[in-house]
Amino acid sequence: MKSVPTGSALSGKKIIDLSRVLGGPYCSQVLADHGAEVLKIEPPRGDETRAWGPPFHEGDAAYYIGVNRNKRSLGLDLTMPEGRDLLLRLLEGADILLENFKPGSMEKWGLGYEEVLRARFPRLIHCRISGFGADGPLGGYPGYDAIVQAMAGWFSVNGEAGGKPTRLGVAMVDMGTGLYSAVAILMALAERERSGLGQFIDMTLYDCAVALMHPHIVNYKLSGKVPVATGNAHPNISPYDTYRTRTVDIFIGAGNDAAFAKLSELLGCPELATDVRFVKNIDRVTHRADLKAELESRLMKIDGAALCNRLLEAGLPAGPIHDTAQVVAHPHTQHRGINLEEGWYRMTGTPIKFSRTPGSLRRLPPRFGQHSREILEEYGLNADQVQVLIDAGVVLETRRRD
């Protein structure tokens, strides 16, 4: 596998990643793609997403494979004192500790940031991802993406108008928290350049989900009106919705009055731009149903895919509604290099495009404990010492199934 390019944005940074499932692994993969060395420390039963399939490749689910490239795996039992001693050894020289244990777990094991880690590793950045944090009315409770979507209001604004509250089909609470966490870690690294000190980062799914509820929460705070699901229509802009055409359903977004006038002209109905119901955005939002009927009466006679191309060429945002297979096969997906393929590995590549320090695929997602011996020998243990730890069940090379 390729070595870390010396020009990678995060080359030389070391992450001890104790996280599992999605938010934490997604965060560390973003950083690993750009040169950070990530040691994925897995509990005896492994990252549970290894079993979240089908589909599988050699026993590991696509769910796991998709967020764990460019990492090495070490199986370690942190419930054993010897395992905790090994973790402290691994933290020597590490820049970042990432974990998503239930709040209080690290403290119970004698590894709390305030109690132990801050003094022992003053430059360490310790990022914890949890459902709700350690304190407050929900402090310490477990949180999964869908549960937090429900509790943070996402269900209530998703789905068809008048329909039942609906889960968003993408795990954006987990992934959004992973992205926020990556941003927070990079901020802490930048601050450490000035202060020379690390710090604790307290990230929660709940905070991130509430922060991502834009514009619904800000609309409510200014209007006092509780937002509801509006289907594909935008609560603040019109036209910004799906529309039927003769061939395919499409999405059109005309975000200002000039764009709407241009859209009306291109559709051969310039009179709509001067109709009193549609002159200003507030008028179009108020009369959204009338506007949709007017537009669809014309769009139903038109080839939607060809129209989208015409609108895009005219500078108006529009696009056909694609399924996953169409997205993967699309020429622009290919052009942007977002389909990452190496042998059997066919996943989504990094969307971050640097001009001088591009991300790269250096390691395929590791099998459980694949690098346990290699990592520990790098930290000064000899082969006999590693074998003793494996025989004692402190270090693992295969997942525990009991």
Catalytic (active-site) positions: 174
How far apart, in whole angstroms, are the C-alpha atoms of residue 227 and residue 74? 46
Name the maximum alpha-carbon separation found in the chain.
84
Are residues 158 and 229 in contact, defined by beta-carbon separation less than 8 angstroms? yes
How far apart, in whole angstroms, are the C-alpha atoms of residue 156 and residue 149? 9
One-letter amino acid at 250 equals I
How far apart, in whole angstroms, are the C-alpha atoms of residue 28 and residue 35? 11
Cα 392 to its chain centre, rounded Å, is 37
Are residues 56 and 49 in contact, defined by beta-carbon separation less than 8 angstroms? no
User: Residue 239, preceding bond cis, omega within 30 degrees?
Assistant: yes
Nearest to 93 by CA among 126, 124, 128, 70: 124
Tokens representing 19? 């996280």
Q: Would strands 14-17 and 37-42 be described as parallel, antiparallel, or unpaired?
A: parallel
How far apart, in whole angstroms, are the C-alpha atoms of residue 222 and residue 157? 17
How far apart, in whole angstroms, are the C-alpha atoms of residue 251 and residue 233? 10
Nearest to 253 by CA among 271, 232, 222: 232
How far apart, in whole angstroms, are the C-alpha atoms of residue 37 and residue 29? 10
Are residues 214 and 231 in contact, defined by beta-carbon separation less than 8 angstroms? no
**Residue labelled with tokens 């944005």:** 9
